[in-house]
Amino acid sequence: MIQVRRLTPDDGPVLREIRLRALADTPENFGSLVAAEGAKPAEEWRSWLRDRAWFAAFDGEDTVALVCGWPGELEWLVFSMWVAPQARGRGLAADLIGAVRETAEVAGAEAIVLHVFEGNDRARRVYERLGFVPTGESEVIDGKGRRNRMRLALNRE
């Protein structure tokens, strides 16, 4: 059974391992490179876990998915979404986005936003099924292409 849990600062090695796997697997979908992030010291990985909400999915001992919720005042940025090839198509994207959504709602956010590179149609379709809508905003990342912003309004009660 796959379980999603929030990573803690003690999970620095777990974050490093899964993030580097994600960058190696689909480098075209990220704004960073394995070499750059692989050179980061352990303290930087721990600091990422202190000021951002990182969630990972575990299939037994194997980490099979990752996502980050980067807090903002009114909007949280969904960052570094990745599901390992052997775990794709099993609903993990919904579980991971749900974890970020719940955390953002508790923090008082009005929306969560993300960027998806043009050509990554599978991810775009997943995000649309989860309720994200294109904002019409985009940006070009050198060497990677254009990525489009999508937004999901949150139900604040």
* Three-state SS letters, 77-129: EEEEEEECHHHCCCCHHHHHHHHHHHHHHHCCCCEEEEEEECCCHHHHHHHHH
Instruction: State the residue range of the domain holding 89.
Output: 2-153
Cα–Cα distance between 139 and 131 in angstroms, integer? 22
**How many domains are contained in the chain?**
1
Cα–Cα distance between 63 and 60 in angstroms, integer? 8
Percent of the chain with pLDDT over 70: 97
What's the token pair of residue 57?
């999915």
Q: What angle do CA 96, 102, 107 make, to 5 degrees?
A: 130
3-state secondary structure of 27: helix
Q: Residue 123 CB: number of other CB atoms within 10 A?
A: 19
Query: Cα separations (Å) of 90 from 33, 45, 52, 94?
Result: 27, 28, 25, 9
Q: pTM here?
A: 0.90
What integer is the mean pLDDT of 101-125?
94
- CB of 7 within 8 A of CB of 56? yes
Query: Cα separations (Å) of 131 from 49, 85, 111, 127, 147?
Result: 27, 23, 11, 6, 18
Question: pLDDT per residue over 44-102, tens digit each?
Answer: 889 989 989 999 999 998 999 999 999 998 999 998 899 999 998 888 999 999 999 99
Residue 157 reports pLDDT greater than 70: no
pLDDT at 36: 75
Q: Domain with 146 in it: what CATH number?
A: 3.40.630.30
